[in-house]
Amino acid sequence: MRIVPARDGGLARLRLVGGELSAHAARAVAHAARTCGSGVIEVTNRANLQLRGIRDDAHATLVEIACDAGLGPAAASGDDIRNVMLSPLASERTRALAARIVEALQADAALHALSPKFALQLDGGERLAMLGHPHDLWLAAIDDGARYAFGLAGTMPRSAADAPASGAIARGDVVAFVTTVLRRFLALATPEEHRMRDLLARVGVAHFLDALNFDTDVTHWRRAPADASLRLGAHEEPQRATWYAGAQTPLGRLDAATLDALADLADSFAARHGDGRLVMTPWQSVLLPGIGAHNARAAREALQRLRALGLATDPHDPFARLIACAGSAGCAKSRADTKADAHRLAPLLPAHDAANVHLSGCERSCAAAHPVAVTLLARAPGHYDLYRGERIVACNLTIEEAAERLARSHADA
């Protein structure tokens, strides 16, 4: 496991298969955050966890705690390859296939040369799914899961204007197909080409696919719409007799005490004793799944407990709409303390607007890999340029000026 330097100390990423975290493992992460770092825990936009402020003398202890909790890789060099994103509500069948893919990637030492940012998505067609993140390779279930459509260096097609899927493969061939695609990438890529989009810009999609076997009858397939608001509130779990409760972490951050409390909630509301688990999401939120069979009342009670911990459960809550990077407190590239500025902005946002607002300390846009309606791009401490989509609409605004501008545009809408 790699621990990389940051302005506020070491930064350690704990990769979670499909975002899942048992209550036991959650308590181990909270313990590691307290004893090895600053106590700050972040949910990432790939549904992983990050621990901040790791001390130089605590690296070995952190790795030991993580591995003892089952959060480490099968082989030390295979940690970075475990980038397979699922829906937070993925079925057991989809999760089992994802586990087989991750196992195969870790077992193939040649694939450990891939960039830590190289990412895959496995989609089962769920209504709650992050469809805006571009992936180096994505696969989506079709024909009731008998086959998977796939594509390279982008997102799934959702409208007639989108590029179609590249092809389709049988479910039984998915694991072998994934490893073949990744091995072909490494064989063709130059040392400077770290992502699939870099390679395809040089060799083209047709040349890359030329050596692969797949079906080509999916040019008209489009992925059904998803609903990100389903990450919040209490809902029945699809294809199960249980409920889940979902809540948004403020700006993607938790402290150790809150994670411990979430683990306790997961255990107390689990339909079966000892089955307590959390699911982190690509929106930097958290789900409590498996709440008592047919028990909507228990799910609503879980929501109340989540709100009591300071998490947002309504799509209109300001912290359900705000995204912010680490900011200048944690990143040397940031031109502003985006986390602190987002806390200042939260109470000033229009009350009934559901549009997401992204505060980014620099042009890299680390906190939001998907398109966001409004972006505040830092120019200097406390000052931002305001973008709607990719169009700049105002420059060098203070947080208060930005809030006023957003309120005015909401009133005019």
Q: Which residues contact 187 (CB under 8 A, 6 or more apart)?
A: none
- N-term to C-term CA, the chain: 48
- Whether 281 is covered by a domain: the verdict is yes
Is residue 215 assigned to a domain?
no
Query: What would the two tokens of residue 234 be?
Result: 């209490």
Tokens read off for 294: 């047919």
Question: Would residue 172 count as lying in a domain?
Answer: yes
- Nearest CA to 133 out of 189, 177, 99, 87 is that of 87
Q: Are residues 269 and 298 in the same domain?
A: yes
Render pLDDT for 304-342 as a digit per residue (tens, 0 to 9). Answer: 999 999 999 999 999 999 999 999 999 999 999 999 999
User: For 144-198, what is each residue's pLDDT tens digit?
Assistant: 999 999 999 999 999 999 999 999 999 999 999 999 999 999 999 999 999 999 9
Domain-located, residue 108: yes
pLDDT of residue 272: 66
Is residue 62 packed enough to be buried (19+ CB in 10 Å), middle (13-18) or exposed (0-12)?
buried
On whether residue 164 sits in a domain, the answer given is: yes
370 pLDDT band (50/70/90 cuts)? Answer: confident
**Domain with 172 in it:** 91-125+131-209
pLDDT at position 411: 60
Query: Is pLDDT at 413 greater than 60 in this prediction?
Result: no
Query: Is the pLDDT reported for residue 352 higher than 80?
Result: no
CATH number, domain at 336?
Answer: 3.30.413.10
The Cα 23–Cα 269 span in angstroms is: 11
Per-residue pLDDT at 371 exceeds 90? no
The pTM score is 0.95
Task: Kindly state whether residue 61 falls inside one of the protein's structural domains.
Answer: yes
The region, left, alpha or beta by phi > 0 then psi within -120 to 50, assigned to residue 251 is: left
Residues 170 and 272 both lie in one domain:
no
Q: 183, 209, 235 — which closes off a domain? A: 209
86 inside domain: no
The residue ranking higher by pLDDT, 389 or 120, is 120
Please, which residues bridge with residue 150 across strands? 139, 167
What element of type H or E holds 411?
helix 399-412
- pLDDT of 36-91, one tens digit each? 999 999 999 999 999 999 999 999 999 999 999 999 998 888 888 899 999 999 99
pLDDT digits (tens, 9 = 90+) for 243-302: 999 999 999 999 999 999 999 999 999 866 567 999 999 999 999 999 987 788 999 999
Shared domain for 250 and 285, answered yes or no, is yes
Q: Over 80: is that where the pLDDT of 94 sits?
A: yes
Q: What are phi and psi of 167, to 5 degrees?
A: 175, -165
| Whether residue 121 is found in the same domain as residue 199 | yes
Residues 112 and 101 both lie in one domain: yes
Burial of 42 (0-12, 13-18, 19+ CB in 10 A): buried
Which residues make beta-bridge pairs with 378?
Answer: 384
DSSP 123: E
- Whether residues 39 and 20 share a domain: the answer is yes
Q: How many domains does the chain have?
A: 3
In this structure, the answer to whether residues 328 and 312 fall within a common structural domain is: no
